[in-house]
C-alpha cells in the first residue's frame, strides 16, 4: 500500500482559488493545479486556467482530449457552490492528475477546502507560508 499523500499549497495560491470561487459563485470554478511530487508530498506551485473553461456545467462538459499536454499538472480544483466538499462520483470518474481539490461555499478559508486522491480518500492539506518559488 502506498503511504497517504500530503498536499501542500502556499497560502496566496489558496487565497486566489477561494477568491475566484467567490467571484464565480453560484457557478462552479475550475482550474488545473501545477506542481511536483516528492517523498509523499505534492507541492502545488501554480494554477492553470482551463483553456475550455465551461463554468456552470461542472464536469459534465469535461473532455480529456481538450486538456493541455502538460505533465507538471498534478490535479484539478473546482468549487462546490453547495458548500459540501465531498467529491461526487462524477468528480472521481473524471479525474485528471493525482488529486482533486474541492472548495466549498462560503470559500472563507482552508476549512472550506478538501483534497482527495483518485480513490476518493481524503488527503492531508498543508497550507504553507507564501513564498516566491525559485525561478529556474
What's the min distance (Å) between Cβ of 91 and Zn ion?
4
State the minimum distance, in angstroms, from the CB of residue 38 to Zn ion.
28
To the nearest whole angstrom, how small is the minimum distance from the Cβ of residue 102 to Zn ion? Answer: 6
Instruction: Tell me how far apart the alpha carbons of residues 102 and 85 are, in angstroms, rounded to a whole number.
Output: 6
H helical segments located in the chain = 11-24, 89-93
Residue facing Zn ion at closest CB distance: 91
Task: Between 88 and 118, name the residue whose CB sits nearer to Zn ion.
Answer: 88
Which CB sits closer to Zn ion, 35 or 104? 104
Q: Which residue's CB is nearer to Zn ion, number 39 or number 89?
A: 89
Residue 20 main-chain phi, psi, to 5 deg: -65, -40
The separation between the first and the last C-alpha atoms of the chain, rounded to the nearest angstrom, is 34
Minimum separation from the CB atom of position 86 to Zn ion (A): 9
Is the CB of 10 or the CB of 59 nearer to Zn ion? Answer: 59
Task: Using alpha carbons, select from 9, 67, 1 the residue that is nearest to residue 36.
Answer: 9
Summarize as ranges the residues that interact with Zn ion (CB under 5 A).
88, 91
Q: How far is the CB of 74 from Zn ion (least distance, A)?
A: 17
13 vs 59 by CB, closer to Zn ion: 59
* Grid cell 482552508 in the structure block, residue: 110
Sign of the CA dihedral 88, 51, 32, 65? positive
Task: Read off the C-alpha cell for 11.
Answer: 497560502
Amino acid at each position: 500500500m502506498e503511504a497517504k499523500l500530503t498536499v501542500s499549497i502556499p497560502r496566496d495560491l489558496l487565497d486566489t482559488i477561494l477568491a475566484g470561487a467567490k467571484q464565480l459563485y453560484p457557478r462552479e470554478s475550475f482550474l488545473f493545479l501545477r506542481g511536483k511530487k516528492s517523498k509523499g508530498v505534492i507541492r502545488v506551485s501554480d494554477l492553470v486556467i482551463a483553456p475550455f473553461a465551461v463554468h456552470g456545467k461542472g464536469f459534465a462538459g469535461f473532455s480529456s482530449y481538450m486538456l493541455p499536454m502538460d505533465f507538471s499538472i498534478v490535479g484539478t480544483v473546482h468549487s462546490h457552490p453547495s458548500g459540501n466538499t465531498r467529491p461526487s462520483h462524477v468528480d472521481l470518474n473524471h479525474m485528471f492528475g493525482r488529486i482533486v481539490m474541492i472548495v466549498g461555499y462560503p470559500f472563507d478559508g482552508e476549512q472550506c477546502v478538501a483534497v482527495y486522491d483518485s480513490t476518493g480518500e481524503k488527503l492531508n492539506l498543508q497550507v504553507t507560508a507564501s513564498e516566491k518559488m525559485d525561478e529556474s
